[in-house]
Amino acid sequence: MEDMVKIYIAGKMYEVPASLTIMNAMEYAGYQHTRGCGCRAGFCGACATIYRIKGDTELKFCLACQTKVQENMYIASLPFFPTQKKGYEIEKIKPTETIMMELYPEIYSCIGCNACTKACPQGLNVMQYIAYAQRAEYEKCAEASFDCIACNMCASRCPAQITHSMVSLLARRLNGKYIQPHSDHVDVRVQEIINGEYNQLIETLANKPLEEIKELYNHRDIEK
């Protein structure tokens, strides 16, 4: 029989297989994910979780889909909460030194506590990319925040009430629109898609068995 561990979900104890992720363990225990997690036909980052191991005082932050259960793990899933996203049209703004001040002035209230970085399950240096945004170094901010999946655990821990994911998203958009060199081959590919040149290929792939699609993906040619 598979090794079992005791975990606590909302204070209630369950015995679950030790090989499961937190997400799978919650489903094993009878919970249903109704917040649209990415691997459950929703968006990635929706399974933000806080946990503590019995006897340890440290709170730990993770994504339930990629973290295995441990013995005596006390689990609390973070519910979705609204993010402070400002409205703007990317065509009407520019990567100026003042655009962040206009849209997200709260970033200049950062007290340097680094709680955001400590909370990031992706291991990103969140406080650093916010510093880049403060200095209008949008290319650096975009690169440092590239792996952000907008779980917003950083925002949940921030005493300055910064919505880090929205700041980094703006930086990446400004970087892609105005700073990075224009990619002519992307224009060509987009036009090919509009012209329907890949419709037959997509239909062929859609009708293949899942295992064959996985095999094709794992052995694909990767552009250098």
What DSSP line would sit under 57-109, residue for residue?
A: ---EEEETTS-B--TTEEEEEPPP---------GGG----SSHHHHH-GGGGG
Answer yes or no: is 82 within a domain. Answer: no
Q: Note whether 164 and 106 are same-domain residues.
A: yes
pTM confidence score? 0.74
Q: What is the CATH number of the domain that holds 69?
A: 3.10.20.740
SS3 16: strand
Q: Note whether 68 and 17 are same-domain residues.
A: yes
Q: What is the pLDDT of residue 220?
A: 87
Q: What is the pLDDT of residue 40?
A: 73
Domain end point (choices 56, 77, 98) = 77
Give residue 193's identity as a one-letter amino acid code.
Answer: I
Which domain does 22 fall in, by range? Answer: 4-77
The domain total for the chain is: 3
Q: Note whether 57 and 134 are same-domain residues.
A: no
Q: Note whether 73 and 97 are same-domain residues.
A: no
Query: For the CA atoms of the chain, what is the radius of gyration?
Result: 21
Q: Note whether 52 and 132 are same-domain residues.
A: no
Q: Note whether 99 and 167 are same-domain residues.
A: yes
Q: What is the pLDDT of residue 45?
A: 77
Domain end point (choices 29, 50, 77) = 77
Series of mean pLDDT values for 10-residue runs along the chain (224 residues): 88 94 93 72 78 92 91 87 84 95 96 94 95 97 94 91 95 96 91 95 92 90 74
Answer yes or no: is 83 within a domain. Answer: no
Task: State the number of CA atoms in the 13 A half-sphere of 198 facing the CB.
Answer: 10
Q: What is the pLDDT of residue 56?
A: 92
The encoded tokens of residue 29 equal 């225990």
Strand order in the sheet with 4-9: 12-17, 4-9, 73-77, 48-53, 60-63
